[in-house]
């Protein structure tokens, strides 16, 4: 699988892992504090070949993504689920821990940042689905981010990201309906097991 765009990653380990999965060129940010020289390099790459931002599914990775989005319009985004980027030893999260199959899948399901953000989603809609302002909101946002392949966010970022990728209420409703059904089934199974144990 050959990737035409240049992939922006955080470090050398990520580059090595990506090259096991696909044929691609990368730019390494070397940490969350991206310097001006690197941003200019990314801007040049976007103008000539296009860019896919593919950072770790953690806070520093999100910070890098936000910095690039602010400076360079129209970049594409690839995301990893936290579960797919977990170190076998635990603790560490990163692209370098993902399997080549998972990396290929993430690079097939990219989102493009649109300059004009159009979406019918508002904060009231997110509140109705318990995605903001509720005790279970963080968990629901994580599950929705995995289902839609848009990464994990806080409430404010979720609204912005859904609009940026021009996702509509219909897509979120379908994803959340499936998520809640799966959670209900898990809860029913857990209750059934406890019932059996108590007999």
Q: 11: domain range?
A: 1-113
Dist. CA 9–CA 143, nearest whole Å = 24
Strand ranges (E), 65-164: 76-77, 111-112
Instruction: Outline where DSSP puts E strands in 67-136.
Output: 76-77, 111-112
The more confidently predicted of residues 58 and 129 is 129
87: confidence class by pLDDT, cuts 50, 70, 90: confident
Which residue, among 71, 77, 135, has the nearest Cα to 106 in the 3D structure?
77
Give yes or no: residues 92 and 104 share one domain. Answer: yes
Whether residues 101 and 86 share a domain: the answer is: yes
- What's the mean pLDDT in 154-159? 89
> 118: pLDDT confidence band, cut at 50, 70 and 90?
low
Strongest mean pLDDT among 2-11, 107-116, 165-174? 2-11
55 pLDDT above the threshold of 90: yes
Same structural domain for residues 11 and 105?
yes
Extract long-range pairs of 141-146: CB within 8 Å, 24+ residues apart.
142/82, 143/179, 144/172, 144/175, 144/176, 144/179, 145/79, 146/81, 146/82, 146/83
Whether 149 shows a pLDDT value over 90: the answer reads: no
Report which of 126, 92, 125 is spatially closest to residue 11, judged by C-alpha positions: 92
| β-bridge partners, 55 | none
DSSP-derived pairing of the beta strands 26-28 and 111-112: unpaired
Instruction: Decide which of 195 and 105 is more confident.
Output: 105
Q: 116 pLDDT band (50/70/90 cuts)?
A: low
Residues 6+ apart with CB under 8 A from 38: 27, 29, 30
**Left, alpha or beta for 87 (phi > 0: left; psi -120 to 50: alpha)?**
beta
Q: Are residues 106 and 123 in the same domain?
A: no
pLDDT digits (tens, 9 = 90+) for 22-45: 999 999 998 778 999 999 999 999
Together in a domain, 108 and 133: no
**pLDDT, mean of residues 138-164:** 89
Residue 171 binned pLDDT confidence (cut-offs 50, 70, 90): very high
Residue where a domain terminates, one of 113, 146, 171 = 113
126 and 67 inside one domain: no
Q: Domain end: 113, 135, 151, which one?
A: 113
* CA 99/CA 80 separation, integer angstroms: 11
User: Which residue did the predictor score with more confidence, 116 or 94?
Assistant: 94
The reply to whether 103 and 123 lie within a common domain is: no
Neighbour-count burial of 56, counting CB atoms closer than 10 A to its CB (0-12 exposed, 13-18 middle, 19+ buried):
buried
Last residue of a domain, one of 63, 79, 113: 113
Residues 109 and 133 in one domain: no
């Amino acid at each position: 699988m050959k990737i035409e765009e240049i992939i922006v990653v955080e470090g050398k380990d990520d580059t090595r892992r990506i090259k096991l999965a696909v044929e691609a060129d990368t730019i390494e940010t070397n940490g969350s504090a991206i310097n001006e020289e690197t941003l200019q390099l990314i801007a040049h790459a976007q103008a000539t070949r296009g860019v896919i931002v593919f950072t770790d599914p953690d806070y520093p990775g999100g910070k890098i993504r936000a910095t690039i989005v602010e400076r360079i319009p129209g970049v594409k985004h690839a995301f990893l689920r936290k579960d797919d980027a977990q170190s076998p030893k635990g603790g560490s999260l990163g692209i370098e821990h993902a399997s080549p199959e998972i990396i290929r899948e993430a690079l097939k399901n990219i989102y493009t940042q649109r300059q004009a953000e159009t979406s019918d989603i508002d904060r009231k809609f997110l509140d109705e689905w318990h995605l903001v302002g509720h005790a279970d909101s963080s968990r629901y946002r994580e599950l929705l981010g995995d289902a839609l392949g848009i990464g994990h966010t806080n409430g404010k970022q979720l609204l912005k990201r859904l609009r940026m990728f021009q996702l509509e209420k219909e897509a979120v409703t379908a994803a959340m309906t499936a998520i809640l059904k799966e959670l209900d089934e898990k809860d029913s199974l857990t209750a059934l097991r406890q019932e059996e144990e108590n007999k």
